């Protein structure tokens, strides 16, 4: 039996599946075909919710006596954009000058491909014969892993995150699954393999601010109320002063205005309303509740002390709508998980990785409610870009790190 020990072949098969969120595109089927020869029991689930697309997910487990390690990730990818701008077609898995091109090569089909290869090599290295029925069915007597290993893979990480990891975790936990640790294969390294492990993430919350005025002719401002004045006043209050200066484990919180819109195509009309959307990435100085309360306080103070029109004291009237599912801040402090992975990286690369909480959110924000979780994967410089690609040498190195980590974690 041929085992999926080559990360390049594994990644090629995954890239060729056009699994743009929410389409499965054959990617989970390709992954299942890799895991079945390794003795994993595989279950496919589809979760639904009104107003959101159905999402395909995969849970695979190989059981043994000892700790249970989860590898988590996603096979869905962002759209390729203008395909004519790509050097190679985004779902061709073309290899050029030592790199493999394709949407998802880095984020994060590459991490999945490497972990599968690492598991396959670990099993092959221990010489368990493929004809051992007990072993192929996930038996415990001859398992070279000396523990349990599971893959928790969603098709909704790049989407709304409603019918993916969060529901798959709940589904598995209700069936009696318990994990001792989790590794997410997101691209964490800024420049080279071994630079960085993500041991936590700042929280995230988004809102949309709407200021209402009175529409009118731009030549007769006394007959109108310009909501843009009030919106600018409120935005200034959100941005100044800074939310904080950072903490021991996290960089400073930041609020970024991401859209401003009045829906006005005419230059001689004062609009009736103006809106702005913003996103906050907050550190452990805050919780979801306290950061949202701070924003309301800033807006209320600014709205009461300012006016829409210069000739009349008119408080700014605004609406604030928070988007659903704010992401909490979290920090992993599990010494076995972090220490073992750090040592494995250093053994393969000679570099001691930085322990970081930088960057955006990931599905680790859901996993942390079930077990300690860290993230480590490929170099992320080209993720979501045209010509997303991964170096073949990086795929091999990441596979060797994962293989060493498996050996040391289950030692």
**pLDDT tens profile 234-288:** 999 999 999 999 999 999 999 999 999 998 889 999 999 999 999 999 999 999 9
Query: How many Cβ atoms sit within 10 Å of the Cβ of residue 86?
Result: 21
Q: Model confidence over 168-190: pLDDT tens digits?
A: 999 999 999 999 999 999 999 99
The closest alpha carbon to 167, from 58, 297, 329, 313, belongs to: 58
In this structure, are residues 99 and 15 in contact, taking their beta carbons and an 8 Å threshold?
A: no
**Omega prior to 365 cis, within 30 of 0:** no
d(CA 21, CA 31): 17
Q: Please, which pLDDT band fits residue 78 given cuts at 50, 70 and 90? A: very high
Report, as residue numbers or ranges, the catalytic residues: 76, 157
Q: Is residue 44 over pLDDT 90?
A: yes
Contact 339, 332 (CB under 8 A): no
pLDDT at 306: 67
Given a cut of 70, is residue 310 above it in pLDDT? no
pLDDT at residue number 305: 81
On whether 141 is known to bind a ligand per the annotation, the reply is no
Cα radius of gyration rounded to whole Å, the chain: 25
If you average pLDDT over residues 70-88, what whole number do you get? 97
**Nearest residue to 168 via CA among 63, 61, 62:** 61
Average pLDDT for the chain = 92
Q: What is the chain's length? A: 411
Q: CA quadruple 379, 401, 345, 58: dihedral positive or negative?
A: positive
Q: Is the pLDDT of residue 388 over 90?
A: yes
The full set of domains in the chain, from first to last, is: 7-201+329-409 (3.40.630.10), 203-322 (3.30.70.360)
**pLDDT at residue 149 tops 90:** yes
Among 7-11, 143-147, 162-166, 233-237, the minimum mean pLDDT is found in 143-147
88 is an annotated ligand-binding site residue:
no
Q: Is 9 annotated as a binding residue?
A: no
Q: Examine the pLDDT at 311 and tell me if it is beyond 70.
A: no
114-148 confidence digits (pLDDT tens): 999 999 999 998 755 443 434 444 443 445 678 99
Residue 74 assigned ligand-binding role: yes
Task: Please report the pLDDT score of residue 138 as a whole number.
Answer: 41
Q: Does the pLDDT at position 307 exceed 60?
A: no
The pLDDT of residue 128 is: 53
Over residues 325-362, the pLDDT tens digits come to: 788 999 999 999 999 999 999 999 999 999 999 988 89
C-alpha 91/C-alpha 101 separation (Å) is: 8
Q: Write down the pLDDT at residue 326.
A: 87
User: Is 388 annotated as a binding-site member?
Assistant: no
């Amino acid at each position: 039996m041929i085992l999926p020990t080559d990360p390049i072949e594994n990644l090629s098969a995954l890239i060729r599946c056009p699994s743009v969120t929410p389409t499965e595109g054959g990617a989970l089927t390709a992954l299942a075909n890799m895991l079945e020869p390794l003795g994993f029991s595989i279950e496919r689930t589809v979760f639904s919710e009104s107003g959101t697309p159905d999402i395909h997910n995969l849970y695979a487990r190989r059981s043994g006596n000892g700790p249970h390690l989860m590898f988590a990730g996603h096979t869905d990818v962002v759209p390729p954009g203008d395909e004519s701008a790509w050097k190679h077609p985004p779902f061709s898995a073309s290899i050029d000058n030592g790199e493999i091109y394709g949407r998802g090569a880095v984020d994060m089909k590459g991490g999945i491909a490497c972990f599968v290869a690492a598991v396959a090599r670990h099993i092959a290295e221990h010489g368990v014969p493929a004809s051992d029925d007990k072993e192929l069915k996930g038996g415990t007597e001859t398992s070279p892993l000396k523990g349990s290993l599971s893959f928790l893979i969603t098709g909704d990480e790049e989407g709304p995150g409603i019918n993916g990891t969060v529901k798959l975790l709940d589904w598995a936990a209700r069936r009696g699954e318990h994990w001792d640790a989790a590794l997410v294969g997101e691209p964490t390294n800024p420049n080279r393999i071994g630079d960085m492990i993500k041991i936590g993430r700042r929280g995230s919350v988004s809102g949309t601010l709407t200021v209402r005025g009175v529409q009118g002719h731009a030549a007769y401002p006394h007959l109108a109320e310009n909501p843009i004045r009030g919106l600018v006043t409120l935005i200034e209050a959100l941005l100044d002063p800074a939310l904080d200066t950072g903490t021991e484990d996290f960089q400073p919180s930041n609020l970024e205005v991401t859209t401003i819109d009045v829906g006005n195509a005419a230059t001689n009309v004062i609009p009736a309303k103006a809106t702005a959307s913003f996103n906050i990435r907050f550190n452990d100085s805050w919780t979801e509740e306290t950061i949202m309360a701070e924003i309301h306080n800033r807006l209320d103070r600014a709205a009461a002390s300012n006016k829409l029109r210069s000739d009349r004291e008119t408080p700014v009237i605004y609406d604030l709508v928070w988007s659903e599912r704010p992401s909490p801040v979290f920090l992993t402090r599990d010494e076995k998980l972090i220490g073992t992975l750090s040592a494995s990286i250093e053994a393969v690369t000679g570099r001691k990785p930085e322990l970081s909480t930088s960057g955006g959110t990931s599905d680790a924000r859901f996993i942390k409610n079930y077990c300690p979780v860290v993230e480590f994967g490929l170099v992320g410089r080209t993720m979501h870009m045209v010509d997303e690609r991964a170096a073949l040498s990086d795929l091999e190195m990441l596979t060797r790190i994962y293989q060493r980590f498996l050996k040391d974690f289950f030692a």
